Amino acid sequence: MTEPQSPLNSTPASFRPPLPPPPPPRQNVANNANVGTQKLPSSALDSTNAQVNAYESAPLPPTSAYQPAPLPPTSAHQPAPLPPKAQAARPSFGKDVQPTLETLVLEAYEQGASDLHLGVGEIPRFRERGQITICQYPQTDEATFFSWIGEILTVEQIERFREEMEYDGATQYEGLVRVRINIFVSLNGPAMVMRLIPLKILSMDQLGLPPVFRDLCHYHKGLILVTGPTGSGKSTTMAAMIDYINREMPKHIISIEDPVEFVHKSQKSLIKQREVGIHTKQFDNALKASLREDPDIILIGEMRDRETVNTAIKAAQTGHLVFGTLHTNGAVKTIERILNLYNPDEQAPMRIQVGESLVAVISQSLVRTTDRKRAAIHEIMINTDAIKDYILRNEVEEVESIIPRCNFEGMCTMNQSIYRLYEEGRITEETALEASPKPNEMAQILRGRA
């Protein structure tokens, strides 16, 4: 682009003003203020004034020697804002973009979440330290939801879900985490809950379990029950106990689960894990068949009905160590739950079988700790002769008075376990009272000993 022509060059020669005399050779800056006040001859004054009036409004051309200074920002000179459409067009990841299911699982794993909740018409949510938190993602539509389950299910499994409107299973993200899956249909549409299961099994020392857990693993026969509400860490505790046996003892272990959660590899022990729906069609058939498969230890995912309890007690009485879970709170309620599965006329012989086969009941729950983690609290009941006598006499409620006095055998109440964490500074007084099954008793312990 050529430089614009100066307005002085386009003026006729007859109208050009005379050139001023050259400045003195040593003119300083102070003399520059008087240049505009020099007097011209009277003959050139009129001509000069006319030229000034004609061209004083003409702007000077921009040159390398003269650059106009930028205007300072004032209220009258502000940069124009972007139009509204341009601002809305900026991408905002996490609010306008739907992630993949693998991305959600990875984010939940990195944040230490235990569960991932997804559903049509809902915002994805995590369960962290027992609390539900909302993710920064948009509501899930049906196309996105079915694209997510397409990442983990086969076409046949998706069709089975459409027909039955329910699906239970598990999948694994290699090198990251194993996931237990439950898909169902709700009022808003399909939904899914994913339980994150670490690939690395934590040891009993890493979990901070009492030494009596290790002693229970050395029993050769009997029934050991781990109880508690959903999400209380029952599977994690049993996995740590099975892992200890696997590393220390030459045993044959068979597990029947729906689905398989923690995956064990045979070490000193030989481990066979079976999943209902994949390796066996019915839970009861697999449990009965396990008695003919030369096991030393049988792991039952959940003692869900009367028939399962019958088979588990039979296995415990025939020389096998049986691990099982129940959704009960407390040792006394666990025993009552088992007995109440039978008719009143059947409970007397069942009390004898339970009293003879039961080894221990471990009731477990989780509490939030001060280091933003969670710790397990337990009520531990060991089936001593005194407790067995109470079971046979149908005085199970008297067991609660024995447990706090038998710490030498490894027993403890839930309040004793909570107070131990409070003494270690791992939980606050508020958390102790909130987690206690008997808050009045817990308050007296804190006031009397703190």
- pLDDT tens per residue, range 210-238: 999 999 999 999 999 999 998 899 999 99
For the segment 182-209, the average pLDDT, to the nearest whole number, is: 93
> CB pairs under 8 A, 24+ apart, for 442-448?
442/415, 442/418, 445/415, 445/419, 446/419, 446/422
- What is the rounded CA–CA span in Å between residue 214 and residue 262? 19
**How many percent of the chain have pLDDT more than 70?**
78
Residue 28 scores a pLDDT above 50? no
Size of the chain, expressed as the number of residues it contains: 450
- pLDDT tens digit sequence for 102-146: 999 999 999 989 999 999 999 999 999 888 999 989 999 999 999
Phi, psi values for residue 106, rounded to 5°: -65, -45
Q: Which of 194, 190, 167 is nearest to 121 (CA)?
A: 190
- pLDDT tens digit sequence for 401-432: 999 999 999 999 999 999 999 999 999 999 99
Residue 278 scores a pLDDT above 80? yes
Q: Angle 100-232-413 (CA atoms, 0-180°, nearest 5)? A: 165
Most distant CA atoms of the chain, gap in Å: 140
Beta strands 358-368 and 374-382, pairing class: antiparallel
Please tell me the predicted confidence (pLDDT) of residue 81: 46
For the question of whether the overall pTM of this predicted structure is more than 0.85, the answer is: no
For the segment 315-329, the average pLDDT, to the nearest whole number, is: 93
pLDDT band per the 50, 70, 90 thresholds, residue 45: very low
Please tell me the predicted confidence (pLDDT) of residue 24: 55
- Torsion sign, CA atoms 393, 398, 400, 404: negative
- pLDDT tens digit sequence for 335-382: 999 999 999 999 999 999 999 999 999 999 999 999 888 999 999 999
For the chain, what is the mean pLDDT? Answer: 82
pLDDT band per the 50, 70, 90 thresholds, residue 305: confident
- What is the rounded CA–CA span in Å between residue 91 and residue 88? 8
Please tell me the predicted confidence (pLDDT) of residue 13: 43
